[in-house]
Structure 1
């Protein structure tokens, strides 16, 4: 795989990651609850992106795209999970906490939730399914599977850099504004609920 192909894919991937969505909402909620939770949440989101890439590389993405029943199940699962997360943010909006005050036992919890938010996002799976093949060269000396995973690693790295900055910055910007922090938390919850609703409506429409 050429350096030019990796660079071109990174540019496209980075622009896509900069677009706010459920991942942004999740990492902002982590940042508001404590800076020590930002890294576990970010790692979880990046792992979810790698899992989606692995699914595409293994052919699962193509199978899901061809099979309406599997796609419906994936969409419903992802939408319901996002809705559950959004309701949680509305019921318990995050208050600004210092990094030393965050609960020590929640790091793995936030990592697993992050992997679920990212990995269960059907939009990400279908996006990678549409995007990755454009940068794969079957005649290259790298196997196709290795090329896809290399590109997925680049995408996961973009996710890690952007989401860590967003999560870390959310507390810096809102540290002295507790009311604004709760408002942002509820906006994040609303965003998750909105995305979940759009997924369900789109699923019912098709």
Structure 2
């Protein structure tokens, strides 16, 4: 597999990762509630690993070859981002009390992380619609192996970035409810704007 393809995918994936979304909200929430961010981020990565396996099994090639499915996924993902952004804006996260921070377990946080990424339309769009576009059907590597490499690239980048986000949240925003609400609302507004852009862009084509 060409290194240029991996690098090109990494650049696009990084841009998508840094855009606020459900993963951001979940990671920031874990940091604000005083939970260790490791289990939260670990859950997100495992969820994306599950999607990678599904796409590598052949679903990705099917989606990549069907423009109707690609458009449908984009529209569904856009609507989800608008809804999730509006909810985040209306109900921003704030630092939790010591009692709330002690509630739950790392295992519960880990499992929620799996659900957030595995069921997140943004993640599904990345893996089903974007990832197959960086594969070569006539390359020396099987498509499933190429998808595996690209998926691993995304997971490593995602894990490192969100570990940084979670730890920064705990250091900077914990104990500062006004700042926490502002950051949460900005994330919500960005999510809604991105979702609206996805929908409008496809409807105008």
On whether the aligned pair clears a TM of 0.5, the verdict is yes
CA distance in 2, matches of 1:162, 1:15: 14
Per the alignment, in what secondary structure is the counterpart of residue 58 of structure 1? Answer: helix
Q: Distance in 2 between matches of 1:137 and 1:100?
A: 57
Spell out, residue by residue over 1:62-84, the C-alpha distance to the aligned partner (whole angstroms, 9 max, x if none): 33233232123212222222223
User: Could you say which residue in structure 2 is the equivalent of 1:114?
Assistant: 117
Per the normalisation by structure 2, the TM-score is: 0.75
Q: Give 1:96 shift.
A: 1.3
Going from structure 1 to structure 2, the CA distance change for 1:64 and 1:199 (only over 3 Å counts) comes to same
Q: Supply the distance in 2 between the matched residues of 1:81 and 1:50 (Cα, whole angstroms).
A: 22
CA deviations on 1:115-142 (whole Å, 9 max, x unpaired) are: 32366442454332223x26x98435xx
Distance 1:180 1:33 in 2: 11
Cα deviations across residues 82-132 of structure 1 (Å, max 9, x unaligned)?
22322221222111136863341762334312332366442454332223x
Structure 2 unaligned regions, length at least 5: none
> SS state of the match for residue 156, structure 2?
helix
Q: What is the rounded CA distance, in whole Å, between the counterparts of 1:12 and 1:72 in structure 2?
A: 20
Q: Secondary structure at 1:183's aligned position in 2?
A: helix
Q: Determine helix, strand or coil for the equivalent of 2:94.
A: coil
CA distance in 1: counterparts of 2:73 and 2:95, whole angstroms: 34
Q: CA RMSD in A?
A: 3.4
Please give the alpha-carbon distance, in whole angstroms, between the structure 2 residues aligned to 1:118 and 1:17. 17
**Counterpart pick for 1:17 among 14, 24, 30:** 14
Q: Is the Cα–Cα contact under 8 Å of residues 75 and 200 in structure 1 kept in the other structure?
A: yes
Partners of 1:30 and 1:41 within 8 A in 2: no
1:43–1:114: 8 Å Cα contact kept in structure 2?
Answer: no
Measure the CA separation in 2 of the matches of 1:189 and 1:171.
19
